[in-house]
Amino acid sequence: MKNTFRLALRGLTRNRRRSLVTLLAIALGFAAIALFAGYTRNVFDGLQRQSIYGEMLGHLTLSKTGMRKEGKLDPERYLLTAPEVERITALLREEAHVDMVAPRLALSGLMSNGRASTIFIAEAIEPAAMARFQDNILSEDEIRSGMFNNQLKQLDPERIEVVELSEGLVDILHLAVGGQAAVLVNTLAGQANALDITVGHTFNTGNAGSNDKFAYMPLALARSLLDAEGRADRLTILLDDAEQTLPMQAHLLKKLRDAGFDIEIQTWRDLSDFYNQVRGMFDMIFGFIFLIVLTVVIMSVANSMGMTVVERTREIGTLRAIGLKRAGVVRLFTTESMLLTLLGCTLGLAITVAVRWGINLANVSYTPPNSASPVPLLISLDVARVSFTFVLMGVVGTLAAYLPARRAAKKLIIDALGHV
């Protein structure tokens, strides 16, 4: 085995230019896969945080059965009553993995500056619960970039009339922070109800489609507007471990239904269509790139080893003549191919680390389609995909040399020695 390894290393240095070209093809292919995997990993992590904490979906969302489909048509029927909110919240808080339970209300109506009006969509939540969500919305890299500071939101726990408005909504109505506006909504009974509000901080939703109509308000204000004291259309549940999302969904659903509540529970992925669409698209692109790179690696290694076998046919005959068996010839060239592939992957990993460091340090930004603000270009290290790629390319690179090596090993010794 030691002799095979030594002969394989010597074989790689026979034609250094060819070995170097193949090595670089493998390294650059590996780096391309690893960098794109790191980019998609960062996108997925960012979208997950944005869904759970930014959009405040939580890990789980509890509502009455049918609320999502029929709730807007008959809110009085599908809203949780005050006793239900209190009882369900108490049962949820008994669970070790439940970190927070937040009652929520969604509402819409008209907002006016006294001269002009426009529609608005609002989410209502208790200020303390919003603060808990905001604490986890950004990663350390995103905090350092400073590009997401305008997406942070904060409700005043002392003043329920203060409402957070999206930047586009403020611009449409020519409002200013601290200024006054009026909102008009329908109560649960269908009667019009209007209240004056104070403009709090402004924020960017990150989505061009909602940045001109979105608002956040204290839950107490929304309950007053809707005449829904103590009620909620859903309960948002934060867990202490995201890995517990699916187990806790099944457990809580059984527990609460056994307690007599006709409820349904969705995970954040059930509610985040955008995350699922983006993930599906990027997974498809990654698979396409992976197949292309893998094909290039196979062809590069197979071509390099095929030419090497042809050039060293007489050497193969000599080795066979002094006692090397056919299996030994195959082992020699597959070992040579394995070393070449593993060296290329190692070089590719070094390139990945260097490029990732440079891009993250450069603080580059771009504006995705339908986005209302730029986002930083950051690359994570997807250890799982990088490890899988390293192993798979090593195996595939080794197997790519098997056929030419096997073909050479089958030659008669006298034919191999007479090869010109």
Domain limits for position 154: 58-271
Whether the per-residue pLDDT at 332 is higher than 70: the answer is: yes
Same domain? 408 vs 265: no
Q: Is residue 247, in this structure, part of any structural domain at all?
A: yes
Q: Name the token pair of 142.
A: 């995103």
Query: How do residues 256-267 score in pLDDT, each as one tens digit?
Result: 998 888 899 999
Distances (CA, A) of 303 to 291, 337, 397: 18, 11, 11
Q: Are residues 90 and 230 in the same domain?
A: yes
Position 272 pLDDT exceeds 80: yes
Point out the domain boundary residue: 271, 305, 338. Answer: 271
Split at pLDDT 50, 70, 90, the class of 56 is confident
Which of 242, 271, 300 terminates a domain? The answer is 271
**203 in a domain, yes or no?**
yes
Are residue 138 and residue 62 in the same domain, yes or no?
Answer: yes
pLDDT at site 347: 92
∠ CA 14-20-24, nearest 5°, is 155
What is the tally of structural domains in the chain? 2
Q: Considering only 142-156, 171-185, 311-325, which range has the smallest mean pLDDT?
A: 142-156
Secondary structure (DSSP) of 249-303: HHHHHHHHHHTT--EEEEEHHHH-HHHHHHHHHHHHHHHHHHHHHHHHHHHHHHH
Residue 378 lies in a domain: yes
DSSP assignment string, 360-396: HHHT-EE--TT-SS-EE------HHHHHHHHHHHHHH
Given a cut of 80, whether residue 150 has pLDDT beyond it is no
Structural domain includes residue 53: no
Interatomic CA distance for residues 63 and 49, integer angstroms? 22
**CB neighbours of residue 269 within 10 Å:** 17
Q: How confident is the model at residue 151 (pLDDT cuts 50, 70, 90)?
A: low
Amino acid at 18: R
Cα dihedral 24/25/28/32 (nearest 10): -170
24 and 100 inside one domain:
no
The band of 324, judged by pLDDT with boundaries at 50, 70 and 90, is low
- Looking at the fold, whether 78 and 221 belong to one and the same domain comes out as yes
pLDDT of the residue at 152: 65
- Domain boundary among the residues 271, 290, 307 is at 271
Which residue type, as a one-letter code, is found at position 63? S
Please write the tens of the pLDDT for every residue from 166-214: 888 888 888 888 888 898 988 888 888 888 888 888 877 777 677 788 8
Q: For the whole model, what pTM was predicted?
A: 0.74
In DSSP notation, 156-173 reads -TT-TTEEEEEHHHHHHH
380 shares its domain with 287: yes
Of 369 and 333, more confident: 333
Q: What is the pLDDT of residue 254?
A: 92
Over residues 357-403, the pLDDT tens digits come to 888 887 777 666 555 556 677 788 888 888 998 888 888 877 777 77
Same domain, 142 and 85: yes
Return the minimum-mean-pLDDT range out of 49-53, 138-142, 187-191, 213-217. 138-142
Q: In whole numbers, what is the pLDDT of the chain averaged over residues?
A: 81
One domain for residues 29 and 94: no
Q: List, for residues 90-136, the tens digit of each pLDDT value.
A: 999 988 888 889 999 988 889 888 888 889 888 898 988 888 887 76
Assess contact for 197 and 179: CB atoms under 8 A. no
Same domain for 229 and 193? yes
Q: Is residue 72 part of a domain?
A: yes
Say whether pLDDT at 10 is over 70: no
Q: 66 and 43 share a domain? A: no
Is the pLDDT confidence value at 302 over 80?
Answer: no
Distances (CA, A) of 235 to 64, 97, 306, 318, 332: 10, 16, 64, 78, 65
C-alpha to C-alpha distance for 232 and 262, rounded to whole angstroms: 15
Average pLDDT (211-228) is: 88
Q: How confident is the model at residue 62 (pLDDT cuts 50, 70, 90)?
A: very high
Residue ranges of E strands in 97-253: 98-112, 117-125, 162-166, 180-186, 192-203, 214-218, 234-239
Q: How confident is the model at residue 9 (pLDDT cuts 50, 70, 90)?
A: low
Q: Is residue 20 predicted with pLDDT exceeding 70?
A: yes
Please indicate, yes or no, whether residues 352 and 262 belong to a single structural domain of this protein. Answer: no
Distance of CA 102 to the CA centre of its chain: 25
